[in-house]
Structure 1
Amino acid sequence: MLDLSNHHQSIQIVIDKHSQKVKNEYRMRLEASIDVSRFLLQYGLPFRGHDESESSINQGFFLGLLRWHGDKHPDAGKVILENAPQNDTLTCPMIQKDIANACAKETLKAIIGDLNGDYFGILVDESKDISHKEQMALVLRFVNKNGEVVERFIDLVHVSDTSACSLKKAIYSLLSVHSLSPSKIRGQGYDGASNMKGEINGLKTLIMKDSPSAYYIHCFAHQLQLTLVAIAKKHLDVEDFFDHVSNMLNVVGGFFKRRDLLRDHQAKKLEQLFESGEVKKGQGLHQERGLQRPGDTRWGSHFKTLDSFIVIFSSIVHVLEVIELEGSTSSDRNQAEYLLTKRKSSGVSYEHHLCVEVFFVVIDVQLQELNDRFDVVSGDLLLGMGSLKSGQFFL
């Protein structure tokens, strides 16, 4: 009878080595996919491309970056993508989602750990996605272990409707998932919608019934934005001015050829200023300006529009003069002529008109609007914060 024990032992050694090699290759493929996913998640980049076929020259960020990773690390390149077993490439959409979900769980675990069971405030907003489904976003505001005030995004969830009861249920459900108690809420921050700040059945009232210390503050920045934008619609001269700016944006910035003409004139004028010594060259100076359309509810965008308008005013006038003479249609030529020659006849000086009839009136309307939108508590809090910032309060 033959002794096969040594032969069997040799076979087992070969099997063990092969199994270890397979495990190492799998680990390298998984680590490569995880590294690429973490990079894309860190910078908020999309994973998938429009065409991910092998013949595509743009397969999307995930596959493209994974291929680049393999080129830079030959050991990984030997076991990923087309060099991997076809049933174990670890690149399919389901795998990508699993990795992203795992990263999200680890991130949330770190956030909750940083909170360390302490008190927190909640910031909530809702909006419709592209498919018109209502979505609710939840952000926690708290003091971390380093004593820093931080805001951390927790989740974005679908809600059946935006009633106060539905939003409260969704908030409590999210807090429960992360073992957070509503009794720890010490602040609420929402917009000014009635379902959020209503005194009887609003979300803030429902939560304060469970946690009386969860004081509600309407976002100050949001209130200020609404106040300033409301002024632009209430004062006739201001409204007329922004209508004039909007018409100018449509005429000058509505076509590629006109935008190119605007850029060319800016470049030529800047070169002339360099030659005359009126401006100096330097890194970060004299960036190209464009025409940005202001948003309806963001006063900052109005400021950016006007700031650019002032800087490139002469270039805008030049483009309008060209359109007035060479416009392709009579409507374009008439619009350019109207924008260039519109003036209001007045029996007072410009200084009196701008100072008395516009500036003082707008300030009065702004004060009235601020008093209407900010209650006494919010006003006192703002004054206190302003005093602390200016160094008038000492501890």
Structure 2
Amino acid sequence: MDKFVIKNSSKQATMDKFLKRKLIVSQDLSPIRETYGSDLIEHSSKKSHIDLETLPTDLGLRKKILEYHPNDQYEIRRAYLLKGPCQPRSHKFPQRDVGGVLRRFNPKWFKEFGNWLEYSIKKDAAFCLCCYLFKLDIGKQAGGDTFVTGGFTSWNKKERLAVHVGDCNSAHNQAWKKCEDLMKQKQHIQEVFRKQSDQAKIDYQTRLNASIDYVRFLLHQGFAFRGHDESENSSNRGNFLEILQFLVDHNESINKVILQKGPKNMKFVTPEIQKDIANCAACETTNAIIEEIGNQFFAILVDESRDVSTKEQMAVVFRYVDKRGIITERFLGLMHVVDTTALSLKAAIESLFSKHGLSLSRICVQGYDGASNIQGEFNGLKSLIMKENGEAFYVHCFAHQLQLTLVAVAKNHIDIASLFNLVSNVLNVVGASCKRPDMLRETQAAKVAESLSNDEIQSGQGMNQEIGLKRARDTRWRSHYGTLLNLISLFASVINALEVVEEDGSHSG
């Protein structure tokens, strides 16, 4: 995976794309609806159209709170609680005949029952503010609607005020508790809803960030994700889950929201989500490559090969000059092709270009191997592309050319063929047992130490590193050069190892 994936700038884009494509945070509001009512939940998205400043203060002029629209009741209740009960203490309360005696409202009652008692000048009656706002519909308990609509006027029965308050579970005290809860910000319905929503989002992003970080790490290092046995009793659950468990053991904030302590329906650690995040990372990497290319021309390098599942895969690589003027090669992806005919390969390339908004007209060079379906003069892939873009010149892949040249020379030139045959025999003899490579390393280490003590070689960072013999491979032309280079560096030690082998052979005979 290209290092574009590891850039921090792409992390947020990867996460945003993943959220949009696959996972949406869903909040279960049923407990809140049961506690506070669905009308208050729905209210959070709508604004009141009632002018709260013009609400009548006198209860004699008010209409029942339940007569207002459900979306407005919350704001109206809160507005009345902020204003407080209507208590015209300086008003000249009129007298009335009660039981043959002239009586009137006693303003001293405001002091005794001041947190809820109201007086209506228009109706010359007493009311209860909290019951007006939150009265339960439970019949005539505690006077029914007396303290809400009709008003209390029995001035000679002050004890009725205490009776209205009742015990701790009375309708009045339940209404008063709702008033207190409404005015306490931490218990406010919007605050509860916001906290639940914010915390759920934080936990969600923590889990998602953890999964994205592990996927990016494994992609960057080229490690496998899955394990043979990913059950909880397994001793090795695979790289992804083992790294996740390691971080959980050392990070308390992640430990609270993932694995055993996470939601039972959490899917961030499932193979499906791992693949989705990896696909998102691949998309972001590809988009970064396409963006870096911009509108300039580029060369296309294509080769096909059969994988272990016997599927024919076509690899596509772009070569271009980046914004810094440096020639850059980027692997764009693998594409499965049904067959290796020129038409199938061209159709696959066109499909890839169409997906990323590219055009064959921007190809300036084609680089392939020498197969007939690729470089065919009339029906090869390079000819089909040149029919649409005459400037997309074909250049035989230099690596393939050099490999073919080296193999041909090695097979037909007696001296070169003998050299590589001799080198192969030396590698076979030295690597025939585990003891001989160990002996070779010890001998070479002793020679390096002796040379350093005699100032024959210099020391420094990256110098005098331990090396070994490498085998040449027919499909990798550079491997022949590396084989000869290492053999030259270890030549004296190899001679010593061969002498020991010869001596052991003579003694055994």
Range class of TM-score, shorter chain:
0.7 to 0.9
Residues 1:27 and 2:205 are matched in the alignment:
yes
Residues 1:156 and 2:300 are matched in the alignment:
no
Q: 1:204 to 1:86 in 2, by over 3 A?
A: same
Q: Is the 8 A contact 1:29 1:89 kept in 2?
A: no
C-alpha distance in structure 2 between counterparts of 1:274 and 1:103, whole Å: 48
Q: 1:183 to 1:63 in 2, by over 3 A?
A: same
Query: C-alpha displacement at 1:298, in angstroms?
Result: 3.0
C-alpha distance in structure 1 between counterparts of 2:196 and 2:464, whole Å: 63
| Aligned amino acid, residue 485 of structure 2 | D
C-alpha distance in structure 2 between counterparts of 1:12 and 1:280, whole Å: 75
Q: Which of 219, 231, 242 pairs up with 1:41?
A: 219
Query: C-alpha displacement at 1:55, in angstroms?
Result: 4.0
| Aligned amino acid, residue 23 of structure 1 | K
Summarize deviations over 1:212-236 as a string: whole Å, max 9, x none.
1111111224312322332111111
Percent of aligned positions with the same letter in both sequences?
A: 53
Matched residue, 2:304 = 126
C-alpha distance in structure 2 between counterparts of 1:318 and 1:274, whole Å: 20
Matched residue, 2:136 = 2
Residues 1:82 and 2:260 are matched in the alignment:
yes
C-alpha distance in structure 1 between counterparts of 2:221 and 2:285, whole Å: 14
C-alpha distance in structure 1 between counterparts of 2:293 and 2:453, whole Å: 58
SS of alignment partner, residue 283 of structure 1: coil
Q: Is the 8 A contact 1:232 1:239 kept in 2?
A: yes
Q: 1:219 to 1:69 in 2, by over 3 A?
A: same
Q: Which of 353, 368, 375 pairs up with 1:197?
A: 375
Residues 1:256 and 2:434 are matched in the alignment:
yes
Matches within 5 A, 1:238-257: 238-257=416-435
| Aligned amino acid, residue 131 of structure 1 | S
Matches within 5 A, 1:94-105: 94-105=272-283
Summarize deviations over 1:151-174 as a string: whole Å, max 9, x none.
222220111111111111111111
Query: C-alpha displacement at 1:245, in angstroms?
Result: 0.9
Q: 1:279 to 1:147 in 2, by over 3 A?
A: closer
C-alpha distance in structure 1 between counterparts of 2:385 and 2:363, whole Å: 9
Summarize deviations over 1:136-165 as a string: whole Å, max 9, x none.
011222334454433222220111111111
C-alpha distance in structure 2 between counterparts of 1:130 and 1:329, whole Å: 47
Q: 1:329 to 1:193 in 2, by over 3 A?
A: farther
Matches within 5 A, 1:57-96: 57-96=235-274
C-alpha distance in structure 1 between counterparts of 2:494 and 2:368, whole Å: 40
SS of alignment partner, residue 51 of structure 1: coil
| Aligned amino acid, residue 467 of structure 2 | R
Matched residue, 2:476 = 298
Summarize deviations over 1:197-248 as a string: whole Å, max 9, x none.
1112111011111111111111224312322332111111110121111111
Q: 1:275 to 1:19 in 2, by over 3 A?
A: closer
Query: C-alpha displacement at 1:192, in angstroms?
Result: 1.5
Unaligned runs of 5+ in 1: 334-395
Q: Which of 466, 474, 482 pairs up with 1:288?
A: 466
Q: Is the 8 A contact 1:141 1:152 kept in 2?
A: yes
SS of alignment partner, residue 153 of structure 1: strand
Q: 1:85 to 1:312 in 2, by over 3 A?
A: same
Q: Which of 465, 486, 497 pairs up with 1:308?
A: 486
Matched residue, 1:214 = 392
Q: 1:320 to 1:149 in 2, by over 3 A?
A: closer
Q: Is the 8 A contact 2:305 2:312 kept in 1?
A: yes
More off after superposition, 165-174 vs 278-287:
278-287
Query: C-alpha displacement at 1:33, in angstroms?
Result: 0.8
C-alpha distance in structure 2 between counterparts of 1:304 and 1:124, whole Å: 26
SS of alignment partner, residue 224 of structure 2: coil
SS of alignment partner, residue 402 of structure 2: helix
Summarize deviations over 1:179-210 as a string: whole Å, max 9, x none.
21222222111111121111121110111111
More off after superposition, 50-59 vs 119-128:
50-59
C-alpha distance in structure 2 between counterparts of 1:142 and 1:238, whole Å: 37
Choose between structure 1 and 2: higher helix proportion: 1
Q: Is the 8 A contact 1:108 1:154 kept in 2?
A: yes
SS of alignment partner, residue 503 of structure 2: helix
C-alpha distance in structure 2 between counterparts of 1:265 and 1:172, whole Å: 57
Query: C-alpha displacement at 1:120, in angstroms?
Result: 2.5
Q: Is the 8 A contact 2:241 2:269 kept in 1?
A: yes
Q: Is the 8 A contact 2:211 2:268 kept in 1?
A: yes
SS of alignment partner, residue 315 of structure 2: strand
Matched residue, 2:500 = 322
C-alpha distance in structure 1 between counterparts of 2:294 and 2:437, whole Å: 54
Q: Is the 8 A contact 1:80 1:89 kept in 2?
A: no
C-alpha distance in structure 1 between counterparts of 2:488 and 2:358, whole Å: 51
C-alpha distance in structure 1 between counterparts of 2:298 and 2:452, whole Å: 55
Q: Is the 8 A contact 2:399 2:477 kept in 1?
A: no
Q: Is the 8 A contact 1:197 1:205 kept in 2?
A: yes
Q: 1:181 to 1:235 in 2, by over 3 A?
A: same
Q: TM-score of the superposition, structure 1-length normalised?
A: 0.76
Q: Is the 8 A contact 1:140 1:152 kept in 2?
A: yes
Residues 1:271 and 2:483 are matched in the alignment:
no
Q: Is the 8 A contact 1:120 1:186 kept in 2?
A: yes
Query: C-alpha displacement at 1:257, in angstroms?
Result: 1.7
Summarize deviations over 1:69-108 as a string: whole Å, max 9, x none.
4455432232122221232051111010011111111222
Q: Is the 8 A contact 1:266 1:315 kept in 2?
A: yes
Query: C-alpha displacement at 1:130, in angstroms?
Result: 1.1
More off after superposition, 292-301 vs 202-211:
292-301
Q: Which has the larger radius of gyration?
A: 2
| Aligned amino acid, residue 484 of structure 2 | L
Q: Is the 8 A contact 1:121 1:140 kept in 2?
A: yes
Query: C-alpha displacement at 1:66, in angstroms?
Result: 2.5
Q: Is the 8 A contact 1:164 1:196 kept in 2?
A: yes
Q: Is the 8 A contact 1:33 1:91 kept in 2?
A: yes
Q: TM-score of the superposition, structure 2-length normalised?
A: 0.60
Q: 1:288 to 1:149 in 2, by over 3 A?
A: closer
| Aligned amino acid, residue 136 of structure 2 | L
More off after superposition, 212-221 vs 199-208:
212-221
C-alpha distance in structure 1 between counterparts of 2:507 and 2:308, whole Å: 37
What is the total number of aligned residue pairs between the two structures? 331
More off after superposition, 291-300 vs 232-241:
291-300
Residues 1:166 and 2:344 are matched in the alignment:
yes
